[in-house]
Chain A
Amino acid sequence: MSFVALDLVPLLAAMLACLACGLVGNLLLLTRQSLLGDAVSHAVLPGIVLAFLLTGSRDAGPMLAGAVLAAFAAALLVGLVVRAARLPPQAAMGIVFTGFFALGVVLLEAGVGRRVHLDLDHVLLGQLEALVWPAAEGWHSLLDPAALAALPPEIRLIGAVALSVPVVLAALWKELRLLAFDPEFAAVSGFAPRALSALLLAVLAVVCVAAFWAVGAILAIAALVAPPAAARLLARSYRGQVLASAAVALAMGAGGVLLAGALPWLAGWGFGLSASGMVAVAGGVLVAAAALLARARESR
C-alpha cells in the first residue's frame, strides 16, 4: 500500500516533469538561452496566480494560458529593455523575471494563495510529497478506474505535458534544429524563425507549469538545464544530445525522489527529506559526473 499510495505519484511526477523540461532545455542550451528558462520559470508564477484570481478554478486550461501569456509578456519586456535601453540581455532578464516573480509573490500573499491552496513554500521549494494518492491500495489500483479517478490532478497535467512535448519536438525535429543552429538561414529558407521561437516559448511556459507543480518555480531551472548540460558533455551528435538528455532527466527525477526516501530510512531518521530539493541535487551531481567522465575521455 504505502509505496503506491505515497511514493509512486511523486516519483512519476518528478521523472515526467524532468523529462519534459530537459527535452525543451536542449534547445535553450544549444542557443545559449539557458537564462530564458530561468526567466520563464519565474515569470509563469504571476500568470498562474492571475489565472486563479480571474477564473477561481484550479483547472489546467486557464493556468496554462496564464503561464503562456506571462511568458510572452516577459519576453516582450526583455526585448524592449534590451533594444531601447541597450542593457545586456542578462541584466534585462534579471530585471524582468525578478519583477514578475515579486508580483506573483505579492499576489499570492495578498490572499489569493489561501483560496487556491498554494503557499509560498510550495512555490519556492516544491512539494512533491504533497502528491499522494490515498485511494490507492496497491499496484492493482493502477487498473481500478475509481482509484485512478482519485489521482491528484497535478499528475494528470504533468503526464499530459510529458506526452505532448516529445510529439511537438519530433514533429518539428529538423525545423527546431535549424532554428537552433542558424536562425538567419532558417529565415531565408522560409522556416519562420519568429513563429518557431514563439512556439518554443509557449512550450517552455507549459513545461515550466508542469515542473512548477512537481518541484516548484526555482528548482524547475534544474530540470531545464541539468539534463541538456550533462548530455552536452557526453554526446557528439544532435540525436545523441536529445537522447542523453532524456536519460539524464529520467535519472535525476527518479534518483532524487528515491534518495530523498532512502537516505533518512538508511540513517534511521524519523523524517523525510525534501524530494524536490533532492531532484535538483541529483541533477547537479549528474552534471558533475558527466564533466568528470568527459575529462577522463579527453585525456585518454
Chain B
Amino acid sequence: MWEALAFRAGHNAAVVALGCIVFGLAAGAVGCFVLLRGRALIADAAAHATLPGIAAAFLLALPLGLDPRALPWLLAGGAVTALLGVVAAHALASSGRVKDDAAIAVALSAFFGLGAVLLSVVQALPVAGQAGLSGLLLGRAAGMTAADAATMAAVAGIALGLLLLLRRPLAALLFDPLQARLAGLPAGALDAALLGLMLLVVLAGLPAVGLVLVVALLIVPAAAARLLVVRLPAMVALSAAFGAGASHLGVALSASAPGLPTGATIVLVALAGFLLALLLSPRRGLIAAFRRQAALMAAARAAAR
C-alpha cells in the first residue's frame, strides 16, 4: 500500500493512481456546484442511466468491427443514455403530478433495469471482455490499463478546465439565480453547462469508482468542505484536494486487498473524512452544535428563573 501511495508500485499502477487523482480533483471541484445547486440526485440518476448505454455500446461494437473494450467508446454510449435518463426525468416531472424526486427515481431505476437486461445479453455472448463491463458497476482500478487511466484523466481534465472557464457565472448562479438572470446571465444555459460538467465527472469516475457509487465523490468531499470553510473558492479548493486524496488513498488501499472493489473503498475513505469534519468542525460540527445547544438551554433556564 505504501508503495502504491508513493507511486512506486509499478508504471501501470502509478498511471492509474494519477488518473484517479485527476478524477478526484474534478469531482471535488465540480461537486461543490452540484451540491450547492441541489443537483445531487440528478447526478446519481445520470450515473445509473449510463449502464444501458455502456452495454449497448459493447453490443454495437461487435457488428461495427470496433474493440468492445475501448473505454472511450463505452463512455460515449453511457453519456447518450445518461442524457436520455435526465431528459426522461425532466419530462415526467414537468407533468406536475409526479414531483422531481420521484420522477428522478423512476428514470434512474428504469434505465438501470434496461442496463441489467442488456447486460444479461452481453453475458450470454461468446466474446471476451464482459468482465470489464461489470467492473464499471463498482469500479476496478486493478483492471485498468494505462490507456484507461489516460482516458479518465482526459475526461476529468476537460471538466476541470471548463469549470475554470465558467467559474464566475456559475458562482453567480449559485448565490442568486434571480439576480444572475436579471444581470443577463443565461441561467438555463448555465444549468445545462453544470449538467455537462457533472456528466463528464461521472463518466471519468466509472472505471475506478463505478456507476453505482460515483455520486458519492461529487457530494461527500463538497459536503465536508462546506462544513469547514465559508467562502466558495476556499470550499472548491478544499473539496478538490479532499476528493483527490480520498481517490488516491482508496485506490492504494484496494490495491493492497485485491478482493475489495475500488469504488466502495474510495467512498468509505471519503466518508471517514466527512465524519471527522462532521464531528469536529468548529462552526457546523456535531460537538460544537451540541455545546451551543447546551449553553442556550442553560441561558434560557436561567432567564426563566
A and B touch in the complex (CB under 8 A): yes
CB of A291 closer than 8 Å to a CB of B: yes
CB distance from B34 to the nearest CB of A (A): 9
Give the contact stretch, choosing among B12-20, B236-244, B259-267. B259-267
CB of B98 closer than 8 Å to a CB of A: yes
CB of B71 closer than 8 Å to a CB of A: no
Which B123-148 residues have a C-beta within 8 angstroms of A? 124, 134, 137-138
Given A102-B264, A106-B264, are A219 and B223 neighbors across the interface (CB < 8 Å)? no
Q: A83 — which chain B residues lie within 8 A by C-beta?
A: 289
Q: Are A102 and B97 in contact (CB under 8 A)?
A: no
Q: Are B98 and A221 in contact (CB under 8 A)?
A: no
Q: Are A94 and B121 in contact (CB under 8 A)?
A: no
Q: B99 — which chain A residues lie within 8 A by C-beta?
A: 29, 32, 34
CB of B196 closer than 8 Å to a CB of A: no
Q: Are B216 and A99 in contact (CB under 8 A)?
A: yes
A110 to B261, CA, bound (A): 10
Interface of B is mostly: helix
| Residue ID in chain A nearest B44 by CB atoms | A94
Q: Are A283 and B284 in contact (CB under 8 A)?
A: no
A271 to B117, CA, bound (A): 12
Contact of B223 among A87, A120, A222, A277 (CB under 8 A): A87
CB of B177 closer than 8 Å to a CB of A: no
CB distance from B254 to the nearest CB of A (A): 9
Q: Are B110 and A222 in contact (CB under 8 A)?
A: yes
Interface of A is mostly: helix
Contact of A98 among B88, B95, B216, B261 (CB under 8 A): B216
CB distance from A44 to the nearest CB of B (A): 15
Q: Are A84 and B285 in contact (CB under 8 A)?
A: yes
Give the contact stretch, choosing among A137-145, A166-174, A224-232. A224-232
Given A102-B267, A225-B102, A276-B116, are A281 and B110 neighbors across the interface (CB < 8 Å)? yes
| Residue ID in chain B nearest A35 by CB atoms | B101
CB of A80 closer than 8 Å to a CB of B: yes
Chain B interface residue count, CB cutoff 8 Å, equals 63
Q: Are A105 and B95 in contact (CB under 8 A)?
A: no
CB of B107 closer than 8 Å to a CB of A: yes
Give the contact stretch, choosing among B35-43, B164-172, B179-187. B35-43
CB of B112 closer than 8 Å to a CB of A: yes
CB distance from A240 to the nearest CB of B (A): 13
CB of B6 closer than 8 Å to a CB of A: no
CB of B79 closer than 8 Å to a CB of A: no
| Residue ID in chain B nearest A96 by CB atoms | B271
Which A28-84 residues have a C-beta within 8 angstroms of B? 29, 32-35, 37-38, 80-81, 83-84
A243 to B290, CA, bound (A): 46
Q: Are B106 and A120 in contact (CB under 8 A)?
A: no
CB of B113 closer than 8 Å to a CB of A: yes
**Inter-chain contact total with CB atoms closer than 8 Å:** 214
Q: What is the interface residue range for chain A against chain B?
A: 35 or more
Q: Are A102 and B114 in contact (CB under 8 A)?
A: no
Contact of B117 among A228, A232, A273 (CB under 8 A): A273
Q: Are A233 and B97 in contact (CB under 8 A)?
A: yes
Q: Are A91 and B40 in contact (CB under 8 A)?
A: yes
Give the contact stretch, choosing among A121-129, A157-165, A177-185, A201-209. A121-129
CB of B268 closer than 8 Å to a CB of A: yes
CB of A101 closer than 8 Å to a CB of B: yes
Q: Are A110 and B260 in contact (CB under 8 A)?
A: yes
Q: Are B113 and A120 in contact (CB under 8 A)?
A: no
Q: Are B215 and A98 in contact (CB under 8 A)?
A: yes
Contact of A99 among B101, B267, B285 (CB under 8 A): B267
Q: A218 — which chain B residues lie within 8 A by C-beta?
A: 48, 109, 112, 212
Q: A271 — which chain B residues lie within 8 A by C-beta?
A: 120-121, 124
CB of A295 closer than 8 Å to a CB of B: yes
CB distance from B226 to the nearest CB of A (A): 7
A232 to B101, CA, bound (A): 14
Chain B 18-49 per-residue mask, 1 if CB under 8 angstroms from chain A, else 0 = 00000000000000000100101100100010
A29 to B121, CA, bound (A): 33
Q: Are B106 and A98 in contact (CB under 8 A)?
A: no
Given contacts A84-B284, A91-B40, A276-B116, 12 further A-B contacts (CB under 8 A): A38-B105, A90-B38, A94-B219, A99-B220, A99-B268, A102-B268, A109-B259, A120-B137, A124-B212, A226-B109, A281-B113, A287-B110
> Which 9 residue pairs of A and B lie closest in terms of their CB atoms, listed nearest first?
A284-B110, A280-B113, A277-B116, A222-B109, A271-B124, A98-B216, A274-B120, A277-B117, A102-B267
A-B contact pairs, 7 of them (CB 8 A): A34-B105, A91-B219, A98-B271, A105-B261, A121-B134, A273-B120, A280-B116
